[in-house]
């Protein structure tokens, strides 16, 4: 591996993710803005979000000070040296922290000490998938702590919510989660949802949904329908941007399902804030950028 | 109509504000989050006088450039985590303004009414817009002990725009939205 080129381009990926809000997310916020009354608190909040995105890009500054957990999803060719890619990525994360594209955002959970570079156990997070491919597909999702705290997991059936082990039960859990979150996850957010799996794979899979663009509906028809319905139902709650009240509570919902055990039926929900930082790159065998994604 | 709110944030100024109003804030504010609130609520001494002051729930991105601190992003963090400590911090330290996101609960609402304090909501995630209002980093406390995100940054701001969501008269927009959205939830789950 030619060290400098991989590190340089992954650093560039982090820089773009931190400072440049994806177009699909900006477009969704713009659509939400048109639904609010001009001059209302909700309108002001959405307008500030768009202004912030614009200014972050222009001034090359982090969109949000909580630069989040760094979730790297890497699709690599068979026999690719993933350890080398991890080392390059860690070096890029250190550099991005030094230059202020990332906050010193990683804490030792026992001592409370702050890591200087964001390189620590479980930071950054890596997911690898090998496949019959020539390029290396690296995608980064930056997920802040405020929205991460709003994630939750339900085990169905749930008596209080009247939720059975079916899609109606899923809808009931999800809307309860949206209500619980109020504005705390920086609404209007995007939900990644996994039906099934065990507790760990369910949460992991719910986060993987954030790799999908907002315009990308589930290929499973009934899930696509449910995604749409939950966005509309959430709007009816009137929570609105930042919980100030308003017409948009979610920018999108992404649902997928995994298999489950007969005894378990988990619904795992990850909440992504409006400052939905997601970027990707297709890298050639020498680490050069073939194409930027999103 | 946007009201101007300038440091020092006296009881008289704060009592005039009503939930739902928008303000443009100027002057000295202090960032503080999880570790600072725990310390203050446990009876720890504040390195600065917080009376008539503002606490901003934020952990900014700050870098050193040409020998000075430069704030790159300074949006709010979720205030609700401080609910457990907030009332006692307001009471013991005479804080008059809290700035954050997501709102706070009953303990804070009651403390705001009793001791004269308001909660201002800024836009979460708007790190750059808020960093732009910072005109000067006047100092920093607990940087080594707490780290960059948890330190107590002393900021001088101008034109920081916010909505009053909990006033000093017992009104809370968060409580209002929570109740109305609960009712709506019952309807959509029917």
What ipTM was assigned to the predicted interfaces of this complex?
0.94
Q: Do B185 and A186 touch (CB under 8 A)?
A: no
Q: Which of residues 31-60 of B touch A (CB under 8 A)?
A: 35, 58-60
Q: What is the pLDDT of residues A236-268, one digit of tens each?
A: 999 999 999 999 999 999 999 999 999 999 999
Phi, psi of A46 (to 5 degrees): -65, -40
Task: With CA atoms as reference, report the closest residue to B148 among B66, B43, B77, B93.
Answer: B77
- Give the SS3 label for residue A44: helix
- Residues B179 and A130: their CA atoms lie apart, in Å, by 49
Q: DSSP characters for A70-107?
A: EEEEEEEETT--HHHHHHHHHHHHHHHHHTTSS----B
Residue A11, both tokens: 């650093």
CB nearest B188 (choices: A52, A64, A175)? A175
For residue B172, give the DSSP letter.
B
- Give the SS3 label for residue B8: coil
Rg from Cα positions in chain A: 19
Task: Quote the pLDDT of residue A2.
Answer: 58
CB nearest A244 (choices: B131, B163, B182)? B163
Phi, psi of A250 (to 5 degrees): -135, 145
Q: Do A145 and B181 touch (CB under 8 A)?
A: no
Task: Quote the pLDDT of residue B117.
Answer: 98
**Angle (CA) B100 A278 B130, round 5°:** 30
> What domain range is B17 assigned to?
2-188
Q: Which CATH number is A3-17+63-144+277-293's, of 3.30.360, 1.20.140, 3.30.1490, 3.30.450?
A: 3.30.360
Q: DSSP characters for A189-225?
A: EEEEEEESS-HHHHHHHHHHGGGS-TT---SSHHHHH
Residues paired with residue B99 on neighbouring β-strands, in sequence order: B56, B120
Kindly list the residues from chain B whose CB atom is less than 8 angstroms away from the CB atom of residue A45: 123
CB nearest B59 (choices: A65, A161, A175)? A65
H-assigned helices in chain A: 3-19, 23-35, 41-59, 82-98, 145-148, 167-181, 199-208, 221-236
The proportion of chain B whose per-residue pLDDT surpasses 70, expressed as a percent, equals 99
Task: With CA atoms as reference, report the closest residue to B25 among B100, B113, B109, B115.
Answer: B100
The proportion of chain A whose per-residue pLDDT surpasses 70, expressed as a percent, equals 99
Q: How far is A262 from chain B (nearest CA, A)?
A: 26
Residues of chain B below pLDDT 70: none
Supply the mean pLDDT for chain B. 96
Task: With CA atoms as reference, report the closest residue to A279 among A14, A2, A4, A8.
Answer: A14
A170 within 8 A of A193, measured Cβ to Cβ: yes
Kindly list the residues from chain A whose CB atom is less than 8 angstroms away from the CB atom of residue B56: none
User: Hey, how many other C-beta atoms are within 10 angstroms of the C-beta on B42?
Assistant: 9
Q: How far is A131 from chain B (nearest CA, A)?
A: 36
Of A115-124, A224-233, B46-55, B58-67, the poorest mean pLDDT is in B58-67
Distances (CA, A) of B81 to A209, B95, B175: 27, 18, 16
| Cα nearest neighbour of A172 on chain B | B189
Burial of residue A148 (number of CB atoms within 10 Å: 0-12, 13-18, 19+): middle
Kindly list the residues from chain A whose CB atom is less than 8 angstroms away from the CB atom of residue B129: 48, 51-52, 55
- Give the SS3 label for residue A278: strand
Q: Which of residues 87-126 of B touch A (CB under 8 A)?
A: 101-103, 121, 123-126
* A169-176: average pLDDT: 98
The domain tally of chain B equals 1
A230 within 8 A of A246, measured Cβ to Cβ: no
The domain limits of chain A are 3-17+63-144+277-293, 146-272
Burial of residue B156 (number of CB atoms within 10 Å: 0-12, 13-18, 19+): middle
Residues paired with residue B57 on neighbouring β-strands, in sequence order: none
Residue A1 has pLDDT above 70, yes or no: no
Q: What is the pLDDT of residues A186-222, one digit of tens each?
A: 999 999 999 999 999 999 999 999 999 999 999 999 9
Q: Do B188 and A62 touch (CB under 8 A)?
A: no
Kindly list the residues from chain B whose CB atom is less than 8 angstroms away from the CB atom of residue A162: 189
Residue B150, both tokens: 């948890």
Q: How far is B128 from chain A (nearest CA, A)?
A: 6
Question: Which residue bears the tokens 């009471």?
Answer: B91
Phi-psi region of B148 (alpha: psi -120 to 50; beta: other; left: phi over 0): alpha
Quick one: pLDDT band at residue A176, thresholds 50, 70, 90?
Answer: very high
Mutate to test the interface with A, among B126, B148, B164, B178 (most CBs of A within 10 A): B126
H-assigned helices in A99-166: 145-148
CB nearest B124 (choices: A113, A179, A273)? A273
Q: Do A103 and B124 touch (CB under 8 A)?
A: no
Q: Domain holding B12: CATH number?
A: 3.20.130.10
Quick one: pLDDT band at residue A6, thresholds 50, 70, 90?
Answer: very high
Mutate to test the interface with B, among A15, A40, A66, A118 (most CBs of B within 10 A): A66
For residue A37, give the DSSP letter.
P
Task: Quote the pLDDT of residue A173.
Answer: 98
Mutate to test the interface with A, among B128, B129, B165, B190 (most CBs of A within 10 A): B128
Residue A270 has pLDDT above 60, yes or no: yes
Q: Do A104 and B101 touch (CB under 8 A)?
A: no
Q: Do A237 and B121 touch (CB under 8 A)?
A: no
CB nearest A179 (choices: B73, B75, B185)? B185
* A51-59: average pLDDT: 97
Quick one: pLDDT band at residue A3, thresholds 50, 70, 90?
Answer: low
A262 within 8 A of A174, measured Cβ to Cβ: no
Tell me which residues of B are annotated as active site.
37
Residue A57 has pLDDT above 70, yes or no: yes
């Amino acid at each position: 591996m030619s060290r400098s080129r991989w590190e340089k381009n992954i650093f560039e990926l982090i820089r773009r993710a931190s400072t440049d809000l994806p177009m699909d997310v900006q477009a969704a916020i713009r659509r939400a803005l048109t639904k609010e009354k001009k001059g209302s608190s909700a309108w002001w909040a959405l307008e500030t979000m768009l202004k912030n995105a614009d200014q972050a890009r222009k001034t090359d500054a982090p969109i949000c000070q909580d630069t989040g957990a760094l979730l790297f999803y890497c699709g690599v060719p068979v026999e690719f040296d993933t350890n080398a890619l991890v080392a390059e990525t860690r070096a890029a994360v250190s550099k991005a922290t030094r230059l202020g594209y990332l906050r010193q955002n990683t804490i030792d959970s026992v001592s409370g000490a702050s890591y200087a570079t964001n390189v620590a156990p479980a930071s950054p997070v890596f997911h690898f998938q090998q496949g019959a491919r020539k390029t290396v597909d690296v995608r980064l999702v930056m997920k802040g702590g405020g929205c991460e705290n709003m994630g939750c997991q339900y085990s169905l059936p749930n008596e209080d919510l009247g939720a059975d082990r079916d899609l109606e039960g899923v809808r009931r859990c999800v809307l309860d989660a949206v209500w619980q979150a109020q504005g705390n996850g920086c609404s209007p957010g995007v939900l990644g949802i996994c039906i099934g799996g065990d507790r760990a794979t369910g949460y992991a899979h719910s986060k993987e949904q954030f790799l999908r663009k907002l315009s990308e509906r589930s290929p499973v028809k009934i899930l696509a329908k449910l995604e749409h319905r939950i966005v509309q139902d959430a709007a009816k709650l009137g929570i609105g941007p930042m919980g100030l009240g308003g017409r948009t509570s979610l920018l999108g919902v992404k649902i997928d399902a995994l298999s489950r055990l007969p005894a378990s039926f988990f619904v795992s929900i990850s909440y992504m804030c409006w400052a939905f930082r997601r970027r990707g790159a297709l890298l050639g065998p020498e680490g050069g950028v073939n194409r930027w994604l999103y | 109509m946007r009201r101007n709110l300038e440091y020092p944030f006296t009881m008289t100024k704060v009592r005039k504000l009503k939930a739902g109003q928008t303000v443009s804030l100027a002057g000295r504010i202090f960032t503080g989050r999880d570790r600072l609130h725990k310390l203050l609520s446990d009876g720890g001494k504040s390195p600065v006088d917080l009376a008539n002051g503002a606490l901003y729930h934020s952990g900014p991105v700050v870098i050193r450039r040409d020998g000075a601190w430069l704030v790159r992003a300074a949006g709010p963090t979720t205030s609700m985590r401080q609910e457990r400590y907030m009332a006692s911090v307001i009471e013991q330290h005479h804080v008059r303004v809290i700035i954050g996101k997501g709102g706070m609960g009953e303990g804070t609402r009651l403390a705001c009414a009793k001791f004269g304090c308001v909660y201002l909501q800024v836009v979460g995630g708007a790190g750059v817009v808020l960093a732009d209002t910072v005109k000067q980093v006047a100092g920093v406390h607990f940087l080594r002990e707490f780290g960059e995100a948890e330190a107590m940054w002393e900021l001088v701001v101008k034109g920081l725009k916010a909505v009053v969501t909990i006033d000093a008269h017992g009104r809370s927009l968060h409580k209002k939205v929570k109740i109305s959205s609960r009712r709506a939830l019952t309807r959509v789950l029917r």
